Structure 1
Amino acid sequence: MTDSTVLNEIDETAFARLEAEGRLLNPVLKAPTHVAGRFGFRGELALRFAAKLADEARPPELTCDQVMAIATRGDDKLPFFCGWLLSFESLKDVAEALGDTLSAGGKYFLYCDNIDLSKKYQVPYKGAMFYVLPILENTVYNEMLELLYLEKAELKKKDTAGKLDAVANAALKFDVTFDTITYEEGLQLMGPVRNPNENRPV
C-alpha cells in the first residue's frame, strides 16, 4: 500500500485532523487494520507544540506516549484510545488535543505515572469519560492485556495491526466502573511528577 493510499484512508477517519496538525508521531502502526473500515494508530500523540523558530522543526513540548487508537471510516469520533502520561494533569491536554474526536460512548484509557498504584478512576472531561489507571506493567500494551483479560501468548502470532484489533475489540466491550472523580479532584490526589529521564517506559 502506498503512502498516498494510506493518507487517503486516514482522511476519511477521525484521525484526519490529528494527522493534518502533525500530532501522530513515531508510528509503529499508522494504517488500515484487519477489520473492514478500521484504521489503526500506535505511536505518540503530540499534545503541546514548541514554538517554531524560522523553519526549524522542534519536538513537541508534551506528548502522550505508547498510544493505541482506532478510527472507523466515515465516523468523525474515535471509539478507542489509550496512552501513557507522566502526569495526570496532562489529561486536560489529551482532551484538548483530541477535541471533537471524543464521544460520550468512546472508551478512553490513560495510564498515569503519578496516581496511587492501588486506585483506578473514571474522570468525565469535555463530554467524554476517561478511565485513569496507574502504570504497573511498564507498558500500556501489557496493562491493557491485563485489564482486558487477554492472553499475551495468544496474541503473539498476530501482527501489529492484529494485536491492536484484539485490544480494541475487547476495550470497546469494557464496562467495569471505577470511582468517578472530577479532574480537579484528580489534581488534588495525584502525586509528584517523576523525572522522565529516569527509567522511562519505552
Structure 2
Amino acid sequence: MTATIARKELDDTAFARLEQEGRLLNPVLKAPTSKYGRVGFRGELALRFAPKLADEARPPELTCDQVMAVATVGDKHLPFFAGYLLSFEHLKDVAEVLGDTLSAGGKYFLFCNNIDLSKKYQVPYKGALFYVLPIDESTVYNELLTLLYLEKNDLKKKDTAGKLDAVADAALKFDVTFDTITYGEGLELMGPVRNPNENRPV
C-alpha cells in the first residue's frame, strides 16, 4: 500500500486531527490494518509539547507511551485506545488531547505506574469511560493479552497490524466492570511517581 493511500485513509478517521497536530509519534504502525476500513496506530501520543526555540524541534514534555489504537474510516470517534502513563494524574491530559475522538461506547485502557497493583478502576471522564489498570514490569501489549484472555502464541505469526487487530477486536467486546471512581478520587489514591530513569544503567 502506498504512503499516499495510507495517508488518505488516515485523514478520514479520528486520527486526522491528532496527526495534523503532530501528536502521533515514533510509530511502529500508522497504516490501514488487514481489517477493511480500519486504520491502526502503535507508538506514542504527545500530550504536552515543549516550547519551541527558533526552528529547533524539541521532544514533547509529556507523552502517553506504548499506545495501541484503531480508528474506522468515516468515523470521528476512536473505538479502541490503550496506553501507558507514568502517573494516573495524566489521564486528564489523555482525555483532553483525545477530546472529540472519545465516545461513550469506546473502550479506553490506561495502564498507570502509580496505582495499587491489586486494583483496577473505571474512571468516567469527558463523557468516556477509562479502564485504569496497574502496570509494573510488563508492557501494555502483554497486559492487554492477559486482560483479554488472548494467547501470545496464537498471535506470534501475525504481523504488527494483525496483532493490533486481534487485540482491538477482543477489547471491543470487553465488558468486565471494576470499581468506579472519580478522577479526583484517583488522584487521592495514587502513589508517588516513580523516576523512569531509576536503576537504569548509565
TM-score, length of structure 1 as denominator length: 0.97
Are 1:83 and 2:48 counterparts?
no
AA partner of residue 135 (structure 2): I
Contact 1:80 1:168 in 2 (8 A): yes
* Equivalent in the alignment of 1:17: 17
Contact 1:43 1:65 in 2 (8 A): yes
* Equivalent in the alignment of 2:122: 122
* Equivalent in the alignment of 1:72: 72
* Equivalent in the alignment of 1:111: 111
Shift in alpha-carbon separation, 1:128–1:199, aligned structure 2, 3 A: farther
* Equivalent in the alignment of 1:38: 38
Deviations 1:80-104 (A, max 9, x none): 0000000000000000110000000
Deviations 1:144-169 (A, max 9, x none): 00000000000001000000000000
AA partner of residue 160 (structure 1): T
| Residue aligned with 2:14, SS | coil
> For the residues of structure 2 that align with 1:148 and 1:137, how far apart are their CA atoms?
18
Shift in alpha-carbon separation, 1:156–1:13, aligned structure 2, 3 A: same
AA partner of residue 15 (structure 2): F
| Residue aligned with 1:94, SS | helix
Q: In the TM superposition, what is the alpha-carbon distance from 1:199 to its structure 2 partner?
A: 5.7
AA partner of residue 105 (structure 2): G
* Equivalent in the alignment of 2:134: 134
Unmatched segments (≥5 aa) in structure 2: none
Q: In the TM superposition, what is the alpha-carbon distance from 1:136 to its structure 2 partner?
A: 3.9
97-106 or 135-144, which deviates more? 135-144
> For the residues of structure 2 that align with 1:199 and 1:178, how far apart are their CA atoms?
33
| Residue aligned with 2:70, SS | strand
Shift in alpha-carbon separation, 1:137–1:144, aligned structure 2, 3 A: farther
AA partner of residue 32 (structure 1): P
> For the residues of structure 1 that align with 2:198 and 2:67, how far apart are their CA atoms?
20
- Structure 1 runs (4+) greater than 4 angstroms displaced: none
Contact 1:137 1:143 in 2 (8 A): no
| Residue aligned with 2:193, SS | coil
Shift in alpha-carbon separation, 1:146–1:130, aligned structure 2, 3 A: same
Contact 1:88 1:113 in 2 (8 A): yes
| Residue aligned with 1:39, SS | strand
* Equivalent in the alignment of 2:186: 186
> For the residues of structure 2 that align with 1:46 and 1:32, how far apart are their CA atoms?
21
| Residue aligned with 1:191, SS | coil
5-14 or 142-151, which deviates more? 5-14
AA partner of residue 43 (structure 1): G
Identity between Structure 1 and Structure 2 (%): 83
C-alpha RMSD over aligned residues: 1.0
> For the residues of structure 2 that align with 1:196 and 1:6, how far apart are their CA atoms?
34
> For the residues of structure 2 that align with 1:50 and 1:165, how far apart are their CA atoms?
33
| Residue aligned with 1:194, SS | coil
Q: How many residues align?
A: 200
AA partner of residue 38 (structure 2): R
Contact 1:85 1:112 in 2 (8 A): yes
* Equivalent in the alignment of 1:165: 165
AA partner of residue 135 (structure 1): I
